[in-house]
Chains A and B, each alone.
Chain A
């Protein structure tokens, strides 16, 4: 009888440990391990990632493109039309082989109205960029600088198609409270760098053009 109790206890303990393990895994705020690290320097593999390449800046969601442009200009000293092309309606067809596309995510209903477009059209544009990136023809630096306010039903459908195609994701951490970016990073092996605020991205941008 004692042996039976011992066996039962071992089985129950075993289940308990497995259950605990499963919960921890689901709730892990950072599947890559440890606390989320903010404002970390880009790995050296990204040094000069965009240097001497054709650089395009666009938005899929019609928001925050001017914030990213401001950082591009100030951090990397780039000049619009000379060092990069900004086009908020850029399509994948317009981007030549070998280019780097800075894809700004986060959707604004006002911005959609200003551009006379909608979420589905933006999602389609994002898909075309991702297809081109998956074919090895372009690189995508995906940006999300708007934090939690730029998440939700207008933004997430676009993120779901855009994130898997990125070569690198630079994200303001407030927008990753539900680990959406962290999970894309883990599941697709895409480097993700989280920042406490958009201005903290300046050194990362500088490194891409070093």
Chain B
């Protein structure tokens, strides 16, 4: 059989076509991957007999209605009225312990007296993409008795699909403070927010209004930071006297139970953060908890699911062994430990509130069902995630 001879021109067309097809395949694959990730819905177990109602952010910030940012607020009311607490997870979707801890609390707490509000996806838009050039994973799984529960690993910032472009300098609306351009899409630089502001400001406004309209007594925002950040293993407290007293008491109780932690007072001149603005613009006692997350670190190696779950990273390990810089990475901090710290921190803040202020005003906040720090460390956080019933 005679092999067909192609001319130079025909060969050029063939090669070009192959490249174009390959590019289309890669583009389609990338687009589908991005689309699937953006539309993946993380599931949470809502106990029908415990969770009183589910509110939407748009109840407090109407322009969010119908948008990806219209997150849920899960409300658990006790039989008796009393003080209330708001727990915020998922402000920064690249800080997974915050969301997982909020999920554990959502799926385990019961309330005797007072009300618990829980947000698991504070910035849902930021769960629809990941941070450019970080090569981060998109999902991570936690083993539970019912199978693997999948959570998303998103970005620190709102998706540019919802908010674009970034200004050269972000000027915080209420204080006039100038911040970096990237912070314009950072929910934790947008408080107290604005009903008609940017998308991120509208999300912040929803949370601020939820606190203000429900007169929420305590607010705790759950975060993580890179191991070299000075504020890891910390309770940051608004500078209201009652809040500082609670933060100090909770710190001492955690320390006495061998959970190393300290507290910091919220700086007056760093604006847009929960522990500053929610305390200033509402009557809530505002706190922010930080744990150490190696996957956020600047000197980490490959970004893997294992890194998120175990905190083990060979470059941090080497830096620690060689004493390079002020590395606070004393040992790998697993997701179990980071979630255990958050859950225990919330518990001790409530205990301290009850100790000092439980006999006045609205009385005690009685919340049960906290898995202990040791239980989470021993059994793994997956044992405290409930089955998703379709």
Contact = CB atoms under 8 A, between A and B. Distances in A.
B267 A113 contact: yes
Nearest to B249: A70
A71 B262 CA distance: 15
Contacts of B239: 114
Interface in B17-55: none
A198 interface: yes
Contacts of A146: 262
Contact of B263 (A62, A66, A69, A116): A66
Q: Which of B247, B249, B264, B268 has the most CB of A within 10 A?
A: B264
Nearest to B247: A66
B331 interface: no
Interface string B228-251: 001100001001000011011101
Nearest to B239: A114
Interface in A187-210: 197-199
Interface of B: 230-231, 236, 239, 244-245, 247-249, 251-252, 255-256, 262-270, 326, 328
Contacts of B231: 110
Contacts of A114: 239, 265-268
Contacts of B267: 109-114
Interface in A138-179: 146-147, 149-150, 152
A186 to B, nearest CB: 26
A63 interface: yes
Contacts of B249: 70
Given A110-B267, A113-B269, A113-B270, A152 B252 contact: no
Contact of A198 (B230, B252, B265, B328): B252
A24 B252 CA distance: 37
B340 to A, nearest CB: 19
A109 B269 CA distance: 12
Query: On chain A, which size bracket covers the interface?
Result: 20 to 34
Contacts of A70: 245, 248-249, 252
A58 interface: no
Contacts of A108: 264-265
A180 interface: no
A70 B250 CA distance: 10
Given A66-B244, A114-B239, A71 B252 contact: yes
The 7 residue pairs across chains A and B that have the minimum distance between CB atoms:
A113-B267, A66-B248, A199-B256, A114-B265, A110-B264, A66-B244, A70-B248
A150 B269 CA distance: 21
Contacts of B252: 67, 70-71, 198-199
A62 B268 contact: no
Nearest to B231: A110
B251 to A, nearest CB: 6
A199 B260 CA distance: 12
Contacts of A149: 230, 262, 328
Interface string A81-123: 0000000000000000000000000001111111010000000
